[in-house]
């Protein structure tokens, strides 16, 4: 107090000097929370980038692993084919024709098409649409052929239940829903099961879609064909011949001669 009264100017100068020296320190400690939060955010961001890089590296490693496994399986399959001498399924040629007549009477389910023997249409050939199996050729003229639909009473087609591989025969019954015959007693057939051709007999290629099981009873199962009979305008005749089998038109003739 005595110094303040004696030398007021000296005291003011001293206070100013002390304040100037303390300002940076006071300013630093005035924002400790903000500085710490900013530091934490930077550390978190760095950690997130590190974690993301680690995750991507692990994902790439997994993808490389599965790519290697797929390549190995492909090589093994190719090797097994060579070892087992697997014969590929024969390819089917085909001809598309137009339905020109419908004989859908109470006892017959057939249609006439505008393609015949001159177009290499032969008795027994399978007939399909874009939806599925339609029937088979039962007779031919030079420029026409008659198709027996799979719903006809005389139609019998070897089929298989796609899911369980149970074999059966699809028998026409002159109704929109042909039935499955010769099923095993313990056959696993349920409503909605897909039915496809089995390929037995060598006439129908295996795997042609036929329909789905529409009902299952104690002694029978009915099938709803995929084909829409009300829109049967164009059909496709398949020329499917298994190796070792000759079509009937080529069997006639002398020994050593094919016609």
Read off the pLDDT of residues 35-70 as tens digits, 9 standing for 90 and up. 556 666 776 777 777 787 877 777 777 776 666 667
pLDDT at 198 over 70: yes
**What CATH code would you report for 93-242?**
2.40.10.340
pLDDT at 77 over 90: no
* Collapsed DSSP state (helix, strand, coil) of residue 9: helix
Mean pLDDT computed over 66-95? 67
54 phi and psi angles, rounded to 5 deg: -65, -40
pLDDT at 37: 60
Mean pLDDT computed over 113-142? 93
Report pTM: 0.60
Check: CB of residue 159 under 8 Å from CB of residue 168. Answer: yes
CA distance 64 to 61: 5
Lowest mean pLDDT among 83-97, 109-123, 170-184: 83-97
Mean pLDDT, the chain, rounded, equals 77
pLDDT at 59: 72
Mean pLDDT computed over 192-211? 90
Report domain extents, the chain.
2-30, 93-242
Contacts of 123 by beta carbon, 8 Å cutoff, 6+ apart? 137, 138, 139, 140, 248
């Amino acid at each position: 107090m005595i110094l303040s009264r004696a030398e007021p100017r000296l005291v003011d100068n001293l206070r100013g000097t002390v304040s100037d020296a303390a300002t940076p320190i006071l300013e630093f400690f005035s924002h400790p929370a903000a500085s710490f939060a900013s530091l934490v955010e930077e550390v978190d961001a760095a950690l997130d980038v590190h974690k993301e890089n680690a995750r991507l590296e692990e994902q790439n490693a997994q993808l490389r692993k599965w790519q290697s496994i797929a390549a190995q399986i492909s090589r093994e399959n190719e090797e097994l084919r060579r070892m087992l001498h697997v014969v590929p399924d024969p390819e089917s040629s085909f001809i598309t024709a137009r339905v020109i007549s419908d004989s859908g009477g109470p006892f017959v389910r057939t249609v006439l098409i505008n393609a015949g023997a001159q177009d290499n249409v032969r008795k027994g050939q399978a007939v399909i649409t874009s939806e599925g199996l339609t029937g088979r050729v039962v007779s031919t003229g030079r420029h026409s052929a008659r198709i027996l639909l799979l719903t006809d009473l005389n139609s019998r087609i070897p089929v298989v239940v796609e899911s369980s591989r149970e074999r059966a025969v699809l028998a026409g019954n002159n109704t929109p829903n042909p039935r499955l015959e010769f099923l095993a007693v313990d056959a696993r057939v349920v409503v909605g099961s897909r039915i496809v051709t089995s390929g037995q007999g060598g006439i129908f290629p295996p795997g042609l879609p036929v329909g789905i099981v529409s009902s299952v009873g104690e002694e029978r199962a009915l099938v709803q064909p995929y084909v829409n009979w009300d829109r049967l305008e164009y059909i496709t005749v398949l020329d499917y011949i298994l190796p070792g089998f000759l079509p009937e038109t080529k069997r006639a003739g002398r020994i050593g001669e094919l016609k």
